[in-house]
Amino acid sequence: MRRTYKVLNAIFIASLCISATMVLLFETDILPDGIYHTATGASEFVWATVMELLTICIIPVALRLFRFRHIAERLVSAEALLNWGALRLLMLCVPMVLNTLLYYMYMNVAFGYMGIILFLCLFFIMPTRARCESEVVKRDVEHKK
């Protein structure tokens, strides 16, 4: 269980650090922002549409992932929690990092807002030792019934 907690926590912290580093680099003008802002707008529209649909669809799935019966039945070990927990974290972390990058590439606030929403959603599934233990123990008890 300890290894599971450490890996899940590493994914959580790494994604936050990557996003924070991007914000720091773009805000201090080390990296140029808005480099695609003058584009025709077609690529920005496609990215915005894809990311909006992805964000809208992925948040409820990620937040309720462990309540789906098929997945809940499989959460009986620390290894299963590691696999499903990593998937759940990555479902929110990857779009958050991508939205952060796209915000600075296009300087479109929609990407920034989606990144902030995904960031806030991460704290509902933040991996703590107690949560890791309760997910496996609770599911294990339900599975034995």
Q: pLDDT tens for residues 1-36?
A: 789 889 999 999 999 999 999 999 999 989 888 777
Question: Which residue in the block uniquely carries the two structure tokens 């008890």?
Answer: 141
pTM: 0.86
- Looking at residue 19, its amino acid is S
Q: Which two tokens stand for residue 8?
A: 């899940």
Q: Which residues of 40-67 are buried (b: 16+ CB within 10 A; e: fewer)?
A: eeeebeebbeebeebbeebbeebeebbe
